[in-house]
Amino acid sequence: MQLPTILSGPIIRRTDPSTVNIWIATSVDLKVKAKIYRINHRNGYRYSLLRTKTINETIQLGKRLFIHLIKVSPKHRQFPTDQLLGYNLFFTDVSNTTTTLNSYHLLDQQNPHNLVYGDLKLPSFYINTKGKNNLLYGSCRKAYSQGYDALAGADLQVEENYNQVAERPSTLFLMGDQIYADDIPDPLISFIIDLGKALIGEEENLIELDDRLSTEPFFTSIDKIHGRGFIMKYFAEFTSSNADNHLIRLGEYAAMYLLSFGTQIWELAKEYGVFDAFDNVLENYYFMYPNLPHSETEYQKELEQHQTRYREQVELVYRFQENLYHVQRVLANTPTYMIFDDHDITDDWNITLNWVENVWNAPLGRHVISNGLAAYWAFQGWGNDPDQFSGAFKKQFQRYLSIFNTHSSSYHDWVELLWGFHNWHFTTPTIPRALFIDTRTMRAFDQQPIPTKIGTNIEENISSPQLVSEDGWRLLDLTLRSSNWSEGEPLILVSPTPLYGIGLIESTLNDYVYPLRTLGLPVQTMVDFEAWKYNSEGFTQFLQQIAAWNPSNCYLLSGDVHYAFAAQSNVTFENGQRISIHQFTSSPMNNMSFTGIWGSLMKKMVWLNSYRRKRQQIFRHCDMENNLVSESNRLSCPSDYYWREEIQYLTTGENSVIQTDNNIGLLSVDPDNVQNYLLKYFGLQLEKKTYEPIKR
């Protein structure tokens, strides 16, 4: 497989006045340097080279996969702030030949996939330190979905204001599910498997982890389209309902990131045949029923299902890749921060203690989680706060990858390192400061029984997890306070899962779906039962931590739920302290869930529920037994409580509370107001939904 030199990127990562980090993936080992330029555009564009020093760190994930993080620092004082900066990269190979981004036509305006805006000559960015700041935020981006990828709309928003730093977005927050490792479309999985092998070079010997894979049908089905469902369920102990094409090997996770972040790999994918007619890929499918006389009816039914799904997914994947040049450009021009949610690794990741124990005790499951975390670190986590990862971490990480032997001590050290690492959270050097919360690996699982009733059946069940444990909150507190943030300053909290949801959805799950556990149904893994409110103790800890930090304004950004909305809550604690929280939720960027008959019905129910909430205040409190209690009016709160709150949902200019189309958020913060927008992309057109402004 002939791989391009640049596999993905460049992507601007952590950026502040003292450091600019640039991420890029290549198929050959190169020394990479960067040059930063001040761009003056008063009388035409002039580019002044800044004196800098470059440190290039490289991690080799495979024989033909090198991940570079280029750290650029000014030689004197700091980078210019609040003005346009540009950059170029310089690649030196083993023969001492040097090329630049322009050598790959990435700066050529004649190339429709170039990285520059307007009549600039270089990709650009700026470092915001004062005045107005514009932050893009979103989550949930699947490679096939109805509608258009809203992350492409973010690119149009930057393009519209590319030379006006007061209006141009300074930062992009990606808040989880940047890939869907458990839900890979049929047209892509064969290419992903082969591309992964080409990237890594060394074949992962999965049979060493589970010798059942040496027997049929598993030896063959594992590399077939739709052939992994049984393996993931019974060998890996996963619970995803869409695991038929689940990513397994490290190279497969890497391949999915390459396909999601830009255009470089897609020409190769097209040559491979990812958009071929169904008949051309039929032989790559796994069938549960053989094509024999005794099962001919079942085989034909299965064939029809495969064909229908394939044709639908081909159209959606084609639309996804059509707009990737927008995604590639916005990532190259906007400092970007990323946190995982479950689909970056697998659906239901760490959803219950039983899930964690089952997967850890399944060698294949343990291995897949390790691969997912390794890919997350290399493609997302490393650039968030590079100083957070010690030399010892990177050395131990690389040691296993250099030998790829699952029987080695370095492999077991690698697995322990990734499963035991609990510093994925981080702060950003933005104004306001943002703290990204890890709601996946910091969990606490409460084993105390709680009574559950459905009909006349009464049983005891375990409660939903606390999304952040007490130890987790201590780590988050230490990280925030060591970031030069001070009490009384504004604060952005990024939680992949919203603190506040839409009542109808959450209440339906809580009151009617979750109790079905008493009948033996595994509803916690059938439904994403992971909102903060489902564990009232964890919900209270979140509020108490915000109160302890005591920011002047608290803005909570979130995604995950596949609908967008904004809410404001005023919380009063038993000691009289009051805090205000403004939550802005943007989801999905590309994974519309409210489709089809049931989707339309749910959308109408949610709309009706949210319509009643317009301009209406909702009152609830937490009683002394840690129960969340809804109040019928202001006067129904008892005299003793831990806290009580008044919640109000904000509306757009169209007087709407909820948005279910693909969208990405834009939060504009200035000294006087906070303005929230939702951006929707419809094939070269950008639609903006505007919420009511909030006084600071």
* Cβ atoms of residues 11 and 20 within 8 Å: no
| Phi, psi (rounded to 5 degrees) for 67 | -105, 125
Contacts of 437 (CB under 8 A, 6+ apart): 339, 425, 468, 476, 493, 494, 495, 496
Q: Name the more confident of 479 and 593.
A: 479
Label residue 599 by pLDDT band (50, 70, 90): low
Instruction: Establish if 274 belongs to a structural domain.
Output: no
Mean pLDDT of 454-482: 84
Point out the least confidently predicted range of 244-258, 283-297, 636-650.
636-650
Label residue 509 by pLDDT band (50, 70, 90): very low
d(CA 391, CA 388): 10
pLDDT at 506 over 60: no
Report the number of secondary-structure helices (H) and strands (E) in the chain. 18, 27
Label residue 605 by pLDDT band (50, 70, 90): low
Instruction: Establish if 589 belongs to a structural domain.
Output: yes
Per-residue pLDDT, 598:
54
Q: Name the more confident of 204 and 7.
A: 7
Label residue 652 by pLDDT band (50, 70, 90): confident
Strand partners, 133: 669
Tell me which residue of 474, 510, 466 sits closest to 353, measured CA to CA: 466
CA distances from 500 to 477, 485, 515, 551, 555 (A): 21, 25, 21, 19, 12
Label residue 524 by pLDDT band (50, 70, 90): very low
pLDDT tens digit sequence for 657-679: 888 899 999 999 998 999 999 99
Tell me which residue of 269, 272, 242, 273 sits closest to 256, measured CA to CA: 269
pLDDT tens digit sequence for 163-189: 999 999 999 999 999 999 999 999 999
Mean pLDDT of 2-20: 97
Count the neighbouring beta carbons within 10 Å of the beta carbon of residue 203: 11
Domain with 633, as residue range(s), is 426-666
What one-letter code names the amino acid at 151? L
CA distances from 425 to 171, 381, 393, 395, 547 (A): 18, 9, 16, 21, 20
Label residue 7 by pLDDT band (50, 70, 90): very high
pLDDT tens digit sequence for 314-354: 999 999 999 999 999 999 999 999 999 999 999 999 999 99
Per-residue pLDDT, 526:
40
pLDDT tens digit sequence for 387-401: 999 999 999 999 999
C-alpha gyration radius of the chain: 25
Per-residue pLDDT, 512:
44
Helix (H) or strand (E) holding 65: strand 65-74
Instruction: Establish if 458 belongs to a structural domain.
Output: yes
pLDDT at 529 over 70: no
Per-residue pLDDT, 517:
43
pLDDT at 632 over 90: no
Output the average pLDDT for the chain: 91
Tell me which residue of 171, 162, 183, 425 sits closest to 309, measured CA to CA: 183
pLDDT at 510 over 60: no
pLDDT at 606 over 70: no
Per-residue pLDDT, 42:
81
d(CA 345, CA 367): 11
Instruction: Establish if 443 belongs to a structural domain.
Output: yes
pLDDT tens digit sequence for 272-318: 999 999 999 999 999 999 999 999 999 999 999 999 999 999 999 99
Strand partners, 70: 22, 56
Label residue 450 by pLDDT band (50, 70, 90): low
Instruction: Establish if 418 belongs to a structural domain.
Output: no
* Cβ atoms of residues 695 and 582 within 8 Å: no
User: What b-and-e string marks burial along 60-90, b requiring 16 or more CB atoms within 10 Å of the CB?
Assistant: ebbebbbbbbbbbebeeeebbeeebbbbbbb
Tell me which residue of 492, 476, 580 sits closest to 173, measured CA to CA: 492
Label residue 543 by pLDDT band (50, 70, 90): very high
Instruction: Establish if 559 belongs to a structural domain.
Output: yes
d(CA 457, CA 519): 8
pLDDT at 50 over 50: yes
DSSP 210-246: -GGGGSTTHHHHTTSBT--HHIIIIIS----TTGGG-
Instruction: Establish if 58 belongs to a structural domain.
Output: no
Q: Is 413 in a helix, a strand, or coil?
A: helix
Instruction: Establish if 478 belongs to a structural domain.
Output: yes
CA geometry: angle 47, 53, 59, nearest 5 deg: 115
| Phi, psi (rounded to 5 degrees) for 228 | -115, 0
SS3 letters across 268-315: HHHHHCCCCCHHHHHHHECCCCCCCHHHHHHHHHHHHHHHHHHHHHHH
d(CA 362, CA 355): 11
Per-residue pLDDT, 658:
86
Tell me which residue of 459, 438, 461 sits closest to 449, measured CA to CA: 461
Per-residue pLDDT, 459:
62
Strand partners, 678: 665, 689
CA geometry: angle 539, 540, 544, nearest 5 deg: 125
DSSP 117-168: -TT-SS-EE----SS-EEEEEE--B-SS-SS--HHHHHHHHHHHTTT-TTTS
Total domains in the chain come to 1
Tell me which residue of 94, 104, 173, 163 sits closest to 137, measured CA to CA: 173
| Phi, psi (rounded to 5 degrees) for 428 | -110, 150
pLDDT tens digit sequence for 210-236: 999 999 999 999 999 999 999 999 999
| Phi, psi (rounded to 5 degrees) for 235 | -100, -40
DSSP 66-107: EEEEEEEEESSS----SS-EEEEEEEE-TT--EEEGGGGTSS
* Cβ atoms of residues 45 and 119 within 8 Å: yes
Label residue 203 by pLDDT band (50, 70, 90): confident
Specify burial of residue 129 (Cβ count, 10 A radius: 0-12, 13-18, 19+).
Answer: middle
| Phi, psi (rounded to 5 degrees) for 451 | -75, 140
Question: Half-sphere exposure of 317 toward its Cβ, with a 13 Å CA cutoff?
Answer: 22
